[in-house]
Structure 1
Amino acid sequence: MGTSKVCSLLSLLRVSFLLMFICGGALATQRLLVVINNQDNPHHLSYSKLTQSYIQGQADSVKRHLAVEVIISTATWPDLRSLWTFYPLLKELKDLYESDNIDWVLVIQEHTEVDLVLLQKLITSFNSSAPQFIGRALQDKTPTIIHHYENTSLKYPDSSSGMLLSWPLITSRPNREPIDFNIDPQHELARYLYDDGKGTALTDAAEFCGESSQSDTCATRYSLESTLCPASSMHKAVSEDDIFVMIKTGEVYHKTRVPLQMRLWTGRLKHKEINSEKLDPSIPTVKVDAPNTERGHCAKFYAILKRALQTENIRKKPWLVIVDDDTIMNVTRLAKLLSCYSVKDKIALGERYGYKAHDGYGYSYITGGGGTVLSMPSVKAIINGGYKCNKPDEPDDMMLGIWLRSLQIPALHSSLFHQAPPSAYAPRYIVSQKHQAISFHKYQPDDPDKVAKEWLGLTPLLTPDMEHDEL
């Protein structure tokens, strides 16, 4: 056979192979990067590895159409503690994977369950070459303080169910600075990407499911129960006897907030103190050496920490909880969550907020209204570290965040703590928490008895006998 005929035959073979390659679907294979956006703590890392292994175990079932890589954020970027705000995560993803031909990024939490077969089916209905933002949409019923009283038309993702972003969305994100305060990062991300209508809006997908959905079409789902730790060989049970609650109040509320709070839940606690600048034997309160301030309360918060460390019956407790006098909390539920953590570790836990946390110069903090949970090693580290309030009325929770950052103690977040009452949250989001929520804050506008009974499973001691207008 002549050389020209051989070359012609090889050309035909190449064409035939290429057609087989295309028709066989090989060119349709897309790359999916799954990011488990976890928290910096041994318990959270351990669960993240289980989730990573579970997803990787499904990869073969979709490999013809989807090449899957699964990473854990704290392992990939161990020095970055602000990835929970999402802005720095988008930047890091672009920098690390820009040349890797990624098509899709799925951002999930440690406890998000993923079905790759159903996710791959969902992906085929979207164009990965265009900006895409997909998830389980939440929407506020009324303007709310946690979203800066903004327009309620914005749809934002339930990040616990995961959110799917196309690579063009990550590379073409808006060229503007995020807001300074991080309160609800999933809402803030949606607002940032929407960019006042110039960007990309969230697409609601039924395949992204909420709390314990039983649908057989769920590509992702989430179970709040999985965030708790029942007693086992891996987890030592925490009981209410391991927890000391210190209530931060002032004389102005001795006859209003304090009696209501005692009736709702603190009156049943065995291990508690009501701390005020004024001694009041009728309650009774314990006097702390700090003035009452209209706002801020840093001096009082610090005095409470100091007293906890200096008082033997408090110091012996593994866990310290500091709450406001208008916080409502179920301590039994809290104990189930604390069973996930080692009392030997430095732990700071609650609802996490941030101030400029995304830019590397700010910090994360536990917002005080939902309750601040500290392991005793954390209390010791703060007091023995010589930290102080610059002014008595500085925001106590934000100062705590500064101290925690200096001590390299991560501010751990649980969605079961709430800085606001139930009505401040999107109905589709909050309804799933009726059996697990740990705390809510404020006695208005929601009826505190209803919050205690219906949302926190508490049984108030007495029938309501006071007006709530003074609270």
Structure 2
Amino acid sequence: MQPLARSLLGVPAVLALLTCSLDFAVAAEDVKKDDKNFQNLGKGETSSKNDLDLKEVVFVIQSQSNSFHAERAKQLEQNILKQAAELTQELPRVLLVHLLDKHEGAWTILPLLPHFSTTFGRNSSWIFFCEEETRIHIPKLLETLGRYDPSKEWFLGKALHDEQSTIIHHYAFAEDPTVFKFPDFAAGWALSLPLVNKLTKRLKSESLKSDFTIDLKHEIALYIWDKGSGPHLTLVPEFCTEDVSSPKAMGCATIFHTFLPLCGNPVKEMDVFVAVKTCKKFHDDRIPIVKQTWEEQASLIEYYSDYAEKSIPTIDLGVPNTERGHCGKTFAILERFLNHSSDSTAWLVIVDDDTLISISRLRNLLSCYDSKEPVFLGERYGYGLGTGGYSYITGGGGMVFSREAVRRLLASKCRCYSNDAPDDMVLGMCFSGLGIPVTHSPLFHQARPVDYPKDYLSHQVPISFHKHWNIDPIEVYFTWLAPSGKDATSGRKQFILGKIEQHVLQHILKQE
């Protein structure tokens, strides 16, 4: 995040620089409240003496190589180092995951542990992980970590748990899913070096067995737990996902930006082409749900089927429907987009007919990405990453492509090995071969809201959910995804807050 000029423009001046139709009087009041709460964050809570030295903590930002995410991670790194300088301590090591290892599975963290053990095993006490939007109050973090004996094996974080067994966790702990806790990455999480060293020995003696990486935070917790022989997650109340404006944020060592990213004006409606995959047997039950919910948000939308039905209308691509994967249909959509849509249409979104999505929120999010880059965006999964596999965007939550990504993909001649191959996995394999990384956003969801912990969804402004099974999809849409004035207000308010955040944090540190 870019600091303000040395003259430190006040909030009204920042607001005056932004041109949009929002009622900025309301936004200004919200910003002032957030500013005040942020100034009080941790004030009077931090001990004047910390036994833990800052150089004993290695900060690892779970970053991505896409230019927007890399820049956000770099700004967080600078923020951490500036706080460290204010404390007049030796600067800590701050590592960005996407720069650490070109291995496709580096984002899954476990492959990096041997490097951490070798490099930091003797002169550090903690590896602290965080996301690019996590905000850290360094003095409070040192006090918090200082409560735990660093010579022991610790797995620290904010605890999440399933309220019911869920497919995304392979129905683990089906009898009582609440008993198993896993960390909310947004709040930050930490491993003591003795635990890192122990896990490294295990990794060297036995390779990772799981073929699929679906929910990394849950799978890391399972690996550390090791069928009960390893440590459980220890709940740390100071690791928080409260928004900066919440009174509960005071006393937190970490907070999290709860907002829909907005980097200027949302992309134009005509810049987003939406392709809905369907088939004749779902025309009567799934397509009406789309039309009753999100279709009106999409100015450019087509329905692709195995049967042309004028009343919808659907387009028959000449690819027969398959019961398993839909690779043939998806590649036909990609070719149609590249060859028959306007060159000025920068983005393609491919969704299933049982995907619920907010196109208006997606347009906000896409304002942060450069369509001239090859962008492949959505919820990231992994296949065979322990043995040189690849990452992919899971199809049910929606797959977003920049035109440049589609152009490079089709120019590569990488294609389906059969019409019924899993389209999302084939796409991941193709993009991996091209050296184009997938870009992850946790705002896309492969499953239903009930499949995720409530506390996890509470700090999101979701973009999509998937499946109609055992839910009322219309109710889910209007509960979770329907556009409201709050979307615009939240996005623009956080855009303003981003501009003043650096100044505010420095002000806090100077007061302590």
TM-score normalised by length of structure 2: 0.79
Q: Of 426, 431, 434, which aligns to 1:407?
A: 434
1:257 aligns with 2:282: no
Deviations 1:110-132 (A, max 9, x none): 11101111001101110101110
Alpha-carbon distance in structure 1 between the residues aligned to 2:190 and 2:50: 23
Of 204-213 and 330-339, the range deviating more from structure 2: 204-213
Alpha-carbon distance in structure 1 between the residues aligned to 2:225 and 2:339: 51
In structure 1, what is the equivalent of residue 69 of structure 2?
44
User: Does the 8 Å contact 1:94/1:170 carry over to 2?
Assistant: yes
Deviations 1:257-281 (A, max 9, x none): 1122111112442200000121111
Alpha-carbon distance in structure 1 between the residues aligned to 2:450 and 2:242: 19
1:73 aligns with 2:100: no
User: Does the 8 Å contact 2:52/2:143 carry over to 1?
Assistant: no
Q: Of 119, 137, 144, which aligns to 1:115?
A: 137
Deviations 1:256-308 (A, max 9, x none): 11122111112442200000121111110111121100110111111111111
In structure 2, what is the equivalent of residue 134 of structure 1?
156
Alpha-carbon distance in structure 1 between the residues aligned to 2:155 and 2:93: 19
1:357 aligns with 2:385: yes
User: Does the 8 Å contact 2:292/2:474 carry over to 1?
Assistant: no
SS of equivalent to 1:172: helix
Are the structure 2 counterparts of residues 163 and 299 from structure 1 closer, same or farther at C-alpha, using a change threshold of 3 Å? same
Q: How many Å apart are 1:83 and its aligned residue?
A: 2.0
Letter in 2 for 1:332: S
SS of equivalent to 2:267: coil
Q: How many Å apart are 1:378 and its aligned residue?
A: 0.6
Of 334-343 and 85-94, the range deviating more from structure 2: 85-94
Q: Of 200, 206, 210, which aligns to 2:231?
A: 200
In structure 2, what is the equivalent of residue 240 of structure 1?
269
In structure 2, what is the equivalent of residue 59 of structure 1?
84
Alpha-carbon distance in structure 2 between the residues aligned to 1:35 and 1:358: 20
In structure 2, what is the equivalent of residue 229 of structure 1?
262
Q: Of 311, 328, 331, which aligns to 2:356?
A: 328
Please identify runs of 4+ aligned residues in structure 1 that moved more than 3 A. 25-30, 60-64
Letter in 1 for 2:197: T
In structure 1, what is the equivalent of residue 250 of structure 2?
216
Are the structure 2 counterparts of residues 68 and 284 from structure 1 closer, same or farther at C-alpha, using a change threshold of 3 Å? same
Q: Of 222, 240, 248, which aligns to 1:191?
A: 222
User: Does the 8 Å contact 1:32/1:67 carry over to 2?
Assistant: no
In structure 2, what is the equivalent of residue 35 of structure 1?
60
Alpha-carbon distance in structure 2 between the residues aligned to 1:418 and 1:239: 24
SS of equivalent to 1:364: strand
Alpha-carbon distance in structure 2 between the residues aligned to 1:26 and 1:204: 21
Q: How many Å apart are 1:67 and its aligned residue?
A: 6.0
Structure 2: gaps of 5 or more residues: 1-48, 485-512
Are the structure 2 counterparts of residues 26 and 123 from structure 1 closer, same or farther at C-alpha, using a change threshold of 3 Å? closer
Alpha-carbon distance in structure 2 between the residues aligned to 1:256 and 1:178: 39
User: Does the 8 Å contact 1:317/1:376 carry over to 2?
Assistant: yes
Deviations 1:205-239 (A, max 9, x none): 110111415321111111132x61231xxxx6412
In structure 2, what is the equivalent of residue 106 of structure 1?
128
TM-score normalised by length of structure 1: 0.86
User: Does the 8 Å contact 2:121/2:193 carry over to 1?
Assistant: no
Q: Of 147, 150, 158, which aligns to 1:125?
A: 147
Alpha-carbon distance in structure 1 between the residues aligned to 2:148 and 2:212: 33
Are the structure 2 counterparts of residues 127 and 306 from structure 1 closer, same or farther at C-alpha, using a change threshold of 3 Å? same
1:432 aligns with 2:466: no
Q: How many Å apart are 1:310 and its aligned residue?
A: 1.4
Q: How many Å apart are 1:27 and its aligned residue?
A: 8.3
Alpha-carbon distance in structure 2 between the residues aligned to 1:323 and 1:167: 43
In structure 1, what is the equivalent of residue 195 of structure 2?
169
Q: Of 314, 319, 328, which aligns to 1:290?
A: 319
In structure 2, what is the equivalent of residue 84 of structure 1?
107
In structure 2, what is the equivalent of residue 144 of structure 1?
166
1:416 aligns with 2:443: yes
Are the structure 2 counterparts of residues 125 and 268 from structure 1 closer, same or farther at C-alpha, using a change threshold of 3 Å? closer
Letter in 1 for 2:349: V
SS of equivalent to 2:462: coil
Q: Of 361, 383, 387, which aligns to 2:414?
A: 387
Whose relative contact order is higher, 1 or 2, with alpha carbons under 8 Å and at least 6 apart?
Answer: 2
Alpha-carbon distance in structure 2 between the residues aligned to 1:131 and 1:239: 51
In structure 2, what is the equivalent of residue 311 of structure 1?
340
Letter in 1 for 2:255: R
Number of aligned pairs? Answer: 424
SS of equivalent to 1:291: coil
User: Does the 8 Å contact 1:106/1:163 carry over to 2?
Assistant: yes
The structure with more radius of gyration:
1
1:95 aligns with 2:118: yes
Alpha-carbon distance in structure 2 between the residues aligned to 1:262 and 1:270: 13
